[in-house]
Structures are given as structure tokens and as C-alpha cells.
A = this chain, B = another copy of it.
């Protein structure tokens, strides 16, 4: 995963043992020897075999660093060969090879295969918001590692927002001194991340969101604002009224110097200026700004923002960068080179294409909504020219360094496949079957998306393991942004250490029960009955966690209902009149979120109930 463009299975298999090694002697890209070492180490972790090398089992042949990501991989019992025009293509091929390794009765092996592969889109990104909650360097690096494993190639680093300014500026040190609570990346660390990503064939696109979402800038430099300060770092969510002043030359001088400093730090050709959710309030309220607007024939706030963007675009161009921004920056006054990142829908991509501009899709790929992988997998970039690809977005209102991995992975792998694999690769069941395997493979890259589950749950009961709590957790799913914002008590200082934070957005075990409930075989019936029995008895031993008690009671009721339905299906019980309708209403009630989680366990029961109704 992502599924390659062309796969032809061969016969026989290649043994992977402690003598395994990768030869990159025929590569002209200097990154390849490090990549070979890294890949050997990862295969060592993934198999538990202490790889000592000695025999060049996988021969890599590639040209220099470059944009072409295609590769060809041949595995036969005698050895494997990876060929690519560029080192970047070879990096992609190494990841494919790693995924071919599986255990057999005689140890680990890779089955014989011929693969020809290339990406569908050249821009396959992950955006990480490190402002709303701070993400330490190791979080960034381990997620870049995992991105590489599923062939994502753009790390979009959302470095500033109302809640924190996260990059060190030597020109304007108050930005990090007063705008970050002390949590920021030094310039050395930024260079380290850029090099780390480049080694893995990943570009780093920085985002400094302007002129809105800038409370953290204004806390440091209030003179950039459209209204007098002082300003404070944001602690709550949403868009705030204070924004930068688009009318003053000093603001552009500041941004010219700042963007110049950052442009030198980030070698990528693209530079993201945000541009979303700019509040018109202070602009409309200022007589001075209104006078400026009138003088320049800028009829409203969007026109003022377009003026601001044109100025910024010229600054970025002077620093050798192509501007990229969210939907709102789309305006005919900007040059055709700029790129639009769509978050509000696909229309802006169509509009952009109509203006001859390029775009990338993020609407439908918002990981923070915690929707199922199948939802994201079903979103295809619109069928217009000029679409470069897409980006999964991880906004950080409701994630911390501890929980962010489980909100990104494994679902981002489904988006990665959507953007890499041919459009025709779209069978959801196959995706999920492979996703569950990839999820475990990703653990060997260092991401903690699975590792944090048990410790966070056991923490709720003070280290006293509660089996009943784990049973409820396996049957529940965390709500995303909208569900949590309705709880309406969060700020950036509220700990994210609750039940909802511990559990993932999708339950593997509920999915298995749904599969079993669709058209149950005798083995499925055994599985369902076993699980329903556990649910039915679970509330009896549920720990004293008041908030979760109603969910626990409902889970036991679901268990009892499930067992009753199975009895009815087996003809052991009659189905009373109106009973199905009554129970359906009860399921509707149980499916409503409580404690910010959804009882996923309702879904397999509903499937069974529907069969009883038919």
C-alpha cells in the first residue's frame, strides 16, 4: 500500500535472513547508501532478524536525485533488482520491497514479483499543525518516516497560527520569544528536518499563515496589527478578529525581511502563506484602512486581502518562491504560477483550473474530522487539468504529541493510496484488509499510533488494568473536530488524556464484527455470539468512571440484544410485532455521541436487526 500501478506475480520466493543486504553501488544519488542502511535496519525490526549483511540480495540501480518517482522492481528466488531513473524513484521502490516481506513456515521471504510503478499525482502531502498543540521534533521526524513508508512526498509544516509561532527567527526573535510559550524549532532543527525529509524523498513546504490566524505574531509585534494591541497568544479555537494590517508599508517591510529569512531556510520552490479565514472586522472598523481601500478601489475585505496577497506574492517571487495558499487566496489579480490548496470544497479547484492555475485537494482529506478511512478513500481529486494532487491535513485542536500519531495513522495511508495508485484502485474491502497490515508495518517506522492505546487506557484506571474498560474501548470510536467542539470546554491548556483521546477514530474489532454480520457463516456466528456475550456481561465489572457508565450500560444492552437477534435468526425465539422498529429507535439513541465518543458497536447489531426485518 499504495497499490503499485502494475503487478505481475512470479513463482518461488526470495529468502530474507541475517545475510540480507542492499547494494547501492550502481546508484549516483548520494542518499541511497543511507537509505539502504535505514531499510536494512527497518527490515531487521520488522522481522526480528538481526541483519548483519554479507550477501547483496537487493541490487539497486538508479540515477541522481530528481522528481521522477517511477521505478521497476523484480524479485526472484535468486535475488531482487530495483531500477529507477532517479534516486527518488529508488526510494519509493525500497518501500515497496519492505512491504513484500512476510513470514512463512521457513522464515521470512519476499514472493517473486514484477512491479512497474509510478504515482498518479506528483503532490501527495501531509499537513501537520504544530501550532495549536506543540509537536516536538521527534514527532515530526517519526511522521516523516511513516510518510515515506506510504510514498507521501510533501510535508506541509503549518508553523504559525494564533496559538503559537513555532519557527525561530533571528531577524525577529520576539516571534518565538513572545509567541511560542517557549515551544519552537530552532533554525538548526529546521535544517535537520529538511535534510531528514530530503533523505527520504520528501519535500518540506513551510506555512506561515497570514494575514489572519496571526495572534502569536501580534503578541510579539503588535505594530503589525490592524488595530492597537496588546495582543495575547490564542488559547481557544476558531478565527480571531485581530489580523495584520494590509495598508502599511512597514508590514510589508517586516514580511519581506521575515520571508526572506525563511526562504533561505526552506529550499523547496513552494512557500505557503495560508490566507484562510481572514476576519473582515478590524478592517471594516478602521477609518484609515477603509480610506486606503477606497483610494485603491478595493471594494471589500476580500479585495483588501487580494491586494495583500499580490504584495506578498511579489515578495516571495523576489525570494525565488512560488506562492501557495488556501482557497481564499484565489483571485484573478495573482499570477498563474500560484497554487491553490482547497479546503472548503472541490469548486475552488475547478475555478482555479478555469483561471489556468494549479491546485491541490485537501477538502475530504481532513484527518482531524476523524472520519473513517473509507470516506477519505472515496474522495477523488476532481477530473480537471492542473490538479497536482492532494494533502491530508492534521489540524491540532484536539491532538497532542501523544495522540497525534493515532489520528494520522493508519488513515493517511488510505489517502496516500488514493493519490499514488491508479484511479481504478478503489475496492474498499481490499483497502481495509491491506490497511490493517500496513498499520502494523508502520509501527516499525517509529510512529506510536498503536503503542499509546493500552498505556492511555490503563492510565484512566491508575495503572489497574480493567479488562472491561478495554472491551468498551474496542467497541467505541473517537469523535473528531465537530463532535469535540460541541463539548465546548476545550482550550489549548486542557489535557487531552481522556477516554476519547485514547481510542482511535475507527475500531478494527467493530469492523470485523460488521464483516461477520453482513451475511454470517457458522464461524461468523460463533465470533458474534462470543463477542456479544462479553459485551452483555461487561458492565458488571466496569470501573467507576462516571462519564463512561452510560456507554458501558448501552454496550451490555447491545450484547443482550445481539444474542437475542442471533436466537431469533436461529429460529429459537419469535420476533414480536413492532419489535424491530422499537429496537431500531433504541439503536438510533445509542448511536448518539456521549463522552465525545461513538458506540461503534451499534453498527453490527443494526446490520443483524435489518436482516431480521427482511
Contacts and interface: CB of A to CB of B under 8 A. Distances in A.
A521 to B, nearest CB: 12
A46 B460 CA distance: 10
Given A49-B495, A493-B18, A497-B49, A103 B541 contact: no
Nearest to A534: B530
Given A455-B443, A508-B465, A530-B537, A495 B47 contact: yes
A423 interface: no
A105 B463 CA distance: 15
A211 to B, nearest CB: 29
Contacts of A460: 103
Given A50-B493, A541-B523, A546-B105, A462 B437 contact: yes
B18 A495 contact: yes
Contacts of A439: 463
Contacts of A455: 440, 443-444, 450
A438 B439 CA distance: 29
Interface string A29-59: 0000000000000000111111010000000
B436 A48 contact: no
A335 B386 CA distance: 85
Interface string A513-534: 0000000000100110010011
A347 interface: no
B50 A495 contact: yes
A163 interface: no
Interface in A455-510: 455-456, 458-465, 493, 495-497, 501, 508
A586 interface: no
Contacts of A537: 526, 530
A157 B15 CA distance: 37
A402 interface: yes
Contacts of A461: 103
A5 interface: no
A384 interface: no
A300 interface: no
Given A459-B103, A461-B103, A465-B440, A48 B18 contact: no
Interface of A: 18, 45-50, 52, 102-103, 105, 181, 400, 402, 436-441, 443-444, 450-451, 454-456, 458-465, 493, 495-497, 501, 508, 523, 526-527, 530, 533-534, 537, 540-541, 544, 546
8 contacts: A47-B497, A49-B497, A102-B463, A103-B459, A103-B462, A436-B464, A436-B465, A440-B458
